[in-house]
Structure 1
Amino acid sequence: MDTQSKEYRAEVRKLNDEFRRFGIGNGSVMLTAGIHETGPRFVEEVIAKVQCFNDFTRDNDPYNEHDFGKFDIDGEPLFFKFDYYSFDLQGHSPNAADPAVTHRVLTIMLASEY
């Protein structure tokens, strides 16, 4: 599938949303040290905000794949982003639209950690 096609991007978007919102699919969620240092209540709030995030725009999602988000909690700016690895985590995924060969990594961080 052509990585520039609408079909490819729609499939990546669907897989990203399913993993981000419901934990469906093969992947991992990584929280940075800065997120952990804020305490469990903040961590819960951050995860809930990522799961319900729907403020995708041309500025933060130019390829319409829902692979990046930016939001604030109590004035603290945060980011989340997806990276795509091979199923065995030994390199980049050959096809992010194919869940049989892709391990999604969703990283959630304070903007200051970027």
Structure 2
Amino acid sequence: MIEQEHAQAIAQLNDQHRARPEVGWVMTPGVQALGARAMVQAVAAVVAFSDFSEDNDPHGERDFGAFEIGGQRLFWKIDYYDQSLTLASPEPADPAVTRRVLTLMLAEEY
């Protein structure tokens, strides 16, 4: 698979993962401390996120984003693990060998 096609395959899988907050998402203690209402707003912001650019997505994989909720700067990041969640995925473009984890955090927790 050529590099651009590889990145596009990963990006598509990342978009699908972002659309399903009930599967493989982690919220840091800082985000949880914002309260239920802010957490709901933050999840909605991640699901709707589309502000990808060369600055925040240099590899075209759509695996990172930043936004603000109630004056707080938040980041989200998708990491790729093997099926046992113990090592890095051998191939992030292959869902058969990859488990994605999206971490939603306050910017200062990064």
| TM class, shorter-length | over 0.9
Q: Which amino acid aligns with 2:26?
A: M
TM-superposed deviation, 1:80: 0.3
Q: Give the one of 84, 87, 93 matched to 1:91.
A: 87
**Alpha-carbon deviations, 1:64-108, whole Å to 9, x = none?**
110000111122110000110001112110000000000001000
Give 5+ residue unaligned stretches, structure 2. Answer: none
How does the TM-score come out when normalised to structure 2?
0.94
SS at match of 1:54: coil
Match of 1:61 among 53, 57, 63: 57
Residue 30 of structure 1, CA deviation: 0.5
- The residue type paired with residue 92 of structure 1 is A
Shift of 1:23: 5.2
Q: Matched residues, percent identical?
A: 45
4+ aligned runs moved over 2 Å, structure 1: none
TM-score between both structures, scaled by the size of structure 1: 0.91
1:42, 1:23 → 2: CA distance? 15
RMSD: 1.4
Note the residue ranges of structure 1 that are not aligned, 5 or more in a row: none
Question: How many equivalent residue pairs?
Answer: 110
Offset at residue 112 of structure 1 (A) = 1.1
Equivalent residue of 2:19, what SS?
Answer: helix
Change (3 A) 1:45 1:23: closer
